[in-house]
Amino acid sequence: MDIEWYEQKSSNSKDISIEAAIQNKNLPKIFESGGRLNLMRALKIGKETNQRFTVVGSGFEYLDYKRIKSYGNTIVVPINFPRPYDISDSELNEKLTLNHLKEWNQAPSNLSVLEENGLNFAITSKGLENISDFFKNIKKAVAYGLSEKGALMSLTKIPAKVLKMDQKIGEIKKGFYANFLVASGPIFREESVIYENWVIGKQHVITPNDVVLNLDISDEDLLEYLEKAEKAGYSIEELKNIAKFNGLSSVEIKTLGRRLSNAKKELELKDEVLNKIEPKKQFPVLPVTFPNTAYGFKEKPKYSNMVFKNVTAWTNEKEGILKNVDILISNGKIKKIGKDIETPKNHFDLDCTGKHLTAGIIDEHSHIAASSINEAGQNSSAEVSIEDVIEPDDISIFRSLAGGVTTAQILHGSANPIGGRSAIIKLRWGESDEKMIFKNSDKFIKFALGENVKQSNWGSYSRFPQTRMGVEQVFVDHFNRALEYGEKMGKL
């Protein structure tokens, strides 16, 4: 947007940062989101500005894969899976939540969920404490359902395309850079060994390949060789072809083939014994709930049409308290209140004998359900909106609903005199932020007085105002500017 404004020569000043952006605007655009909720915000910004960003995710995309897929962006996915928690530590146990434990359990299945649902993704080592865990975690993702082909694509062709280098890297083709691995078998198998790593045609030996398949190999080494080869997907005929490639004669290959066949029979006997032993059970991946935390639903609640029967209704209107009445609810709205209402089709009865029904409580000033509540860097942040930072998994939603609160106005904090626009939300436990926000609702903005706005309570002292008189002057200045702007635009 700054580039567009600058290119229209809307400013007489020179901005070298924007000019550098103009010179490089055709480079790949990679948006580092910084977290699960911010990933969705980054996708939203891209859609609003008609920019197709590649977005760096959080590793928990399996929780939002349907929404992510609707945008069509490529996601760069970290594989810094949560480490197991030491539950013998009593102090740590006090801080652990069910959400922490579920993330540890579910995160390794993230990539398989994305692949299964057709999302385009690359893999990054970002966030790993030890780079040596990178390959190990890819193998773990494969063990949790990611296909070997999907893993390979996410490390080669997809990132090459993201970087606009897919005509030079990402495949083994004539004219491409000679970047490849030489291994004993498919590289994501536990038993496979990487021998060499070639980078732009330069050989780097990782593991010396000392075992040569020839007649001099011992029976013990041959058995181990065949076991690894079969796990890597090689047949005896393919191994004989390898031996032929290595220069063995037809007689030597025939002899070697006989030894391989005997070794195979020995392996089959070994497998038969092992198969009689009950395999170790793997810990299952827990199903995602809505939200994926304590008190989450196994399935999202569905809207229901119903008739509350024999309820005591507190109308909060001139009708007062109505005893033993029926209330018909259709498509989320009260359609009728009266005695002995006939239940329409596609509705169900709910016996409320002895129970009371009241209007939901509206919390007019709340700071729950927001991942960020202050934009404190300037004295007026009227341009921001709390609608952009709604956090639908906040346990406060569940607790507020338990207390009868059904609607809340989430206000900006009081770190500056003029905050951002508020969000009016319907408290819906287990729903997305988009489905919580009231559409086309009146817009409100937060103004604040007191000690926070002049930074007495947090000691920043990095901006104006720092006194109560200064706070008043902020209001005077901004309202005057608003009047002048309105007059200029012909609105006043």
Domain co-membership, 422 together with 442 = yes
pLDDT above 90 covers a percentage of the chain that reads 69
183-219 pLDDT per residue, tens: 878 888 877 878 889 999 999 988 766 555 667 777 7
Domain co-membership, 33 together with 165 = yes
Structural domain boundaries, residue 105: 2-176
Residue 195: the pLDDT is 83
230 HSE (CA, 13 A, CB side): 15
Phi, psi of 158 (to 5 degrees): -70, -50
Alpha-carbon distance of 273 to 331, in angstroms, equals: 63
Domain co-membership, 347 together with 375 = no
Residue 428: the pLDDT is 96
Q: Is 181 part of a structural domain of the chain?
A: no
Domain co-membership, 255 together with 379 = no
| CB contact at 8 A, 185 and 232 | yes
| CB contact at 8 A, 75 and 119 | yes
Residue 5: the pLDDT is 87
Q: Is 420 part of a structural domain of the chain?
A: yes
Q: Is 294 part of a structural domain of the chain?
A: no
DSSP state for residue 296 in the 8-state scheme: -
Domain co-membership, 444 together with 458 = yes
Q: Is 198 part of a structural domain of the chain?
A: no
Q: What is the dihedral of CA 330, 335, 341, 345, to 10 degrees?
A: -30
Alpha-carbon distance of 196 to 181, in angstroms, equals: 6
DSSP state for residue 316 in the 8-state scheme: S
User: Is the predicted pLDDT of residue 258 greater than 50, yes or no?
Assistant: yes
Give long-range contacts, CB 8 A cutoff, 24+ apart: 466-475. Answer: 471/417, 474/379, 474/380, 474/417, 474/418, 475/417, 475/418, 475/447
| CB contact at 8 A, 151 and 186 | no
Q: Is 133 part of a structural domain of the chain?
A: yes
471 vs 196: which has the higher pLDDT: 471
Residue 214: the pLDDT is 66
Domain co-membership, 337 together with 394 = no
Domain co-membership, 21 together with 134 = yes
Alpha-carbon distance of 190 to 140, in angstroms, equals: 10
The CATH number given to whatever domain includes residue 478 is: 3.20.20.140
Q: Is 200 part of a structural domain of the chain?
A: no
User: Is the predicted pLDDT of residue 280 greater than 60, yes or no?
Assistant: no
254 vs 165: which has the higher pLDDT: 165
Q: Is 82 part of a structural domain of the chain?
A: yes
400 vs 185: which has the higher pLDDT: 400
User: Is the predicted pLDDT of residue 349 greater than 90, yes or no?
Assistant: yes
Would you say the pTM of this structure is higher than 0.75? Answer: yes
Task: Count up the domains in the chain and report the number.
Answer: 4
